[in-house]
């Protein structure tokens, strides 16, 4: 089969790690080469965005990365929306506008924990935003 007869997007294996793809252009075309992993979508699937697709806040920490690969959201979204409700989440449920309003209120809250010196128990204190 000549290159003229190839369909646009035809894929041919180069070796164990690479494939080449035919791109039709006018009367001819050209070949491009890429890794098999990228071609199969594995590499693109592993990329974590800078912002959580659920809450639109930044994701930079390793805990965000782990939760993104598991649930496609940041760590805090996974705590608030997913944990204990994995079946619902994996079934396609996502928060609505009202849920997101409550979530942002929860996420923006400034909380500190102190140890009571007498009882040695953890005491939660919420600070005013400011």
What is the predicted pLDDT for the residue at 109? 72
Average pLDDT, stretch 103-110?
78
Query: CA-to-CA distance for 37 and 1, rounded, in angstroms?
Result: 27
CA distances to 1, 24, 47, 85 from 33, rounded to whole Å, are 19, 14, 20, 43
Residue 59 has pLDDT above 70, yes or no: yes
> What share of the chain in percent tops pLDDT 70?
76
Q: Is the dihedral of CA 97, 99, 100, 101 positive or negative?
A: positive
User: Is the separation of the CB atoms in 65 and 46 below 8 Å?
Assistant: no
Q: Which residue did the predictor score with more confidence, 63 or 45?
A: 63
Tell me whether strands 18-25 and 28-35 are parallel, antiparallel or unpaired: antiparallel
Q: Does the model's pTM come out above 0.75?
A: no
């Amino acid at each position: 089969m000549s290159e003229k007869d190839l369909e646009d997007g035809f894929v041919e294996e180069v070796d164990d790690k690479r494939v080449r793809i035919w791109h039709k252009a006018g009367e001819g075309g050209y070949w491009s080469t890429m890794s098999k992993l990228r071609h199969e979508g594995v590499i693109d699937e592993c990329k974590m965005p800078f912002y959580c697709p659920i809450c639109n806040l930044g994701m930079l920490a390793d805990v965000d990365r782990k939760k993104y690969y598991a649930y496609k959201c940041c760590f805090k979204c996974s705590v608030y929306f997913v944990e204990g409700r994995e079946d619902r989440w994996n079934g396609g449920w996502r928060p609505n506008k009202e849920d997101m309003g409550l979530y942002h209120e929860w996420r923006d809250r400034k909380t500190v924990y102190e140890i009571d010196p007498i009882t040695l128990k953890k005491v939660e204190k919420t600070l005013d935003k400011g």
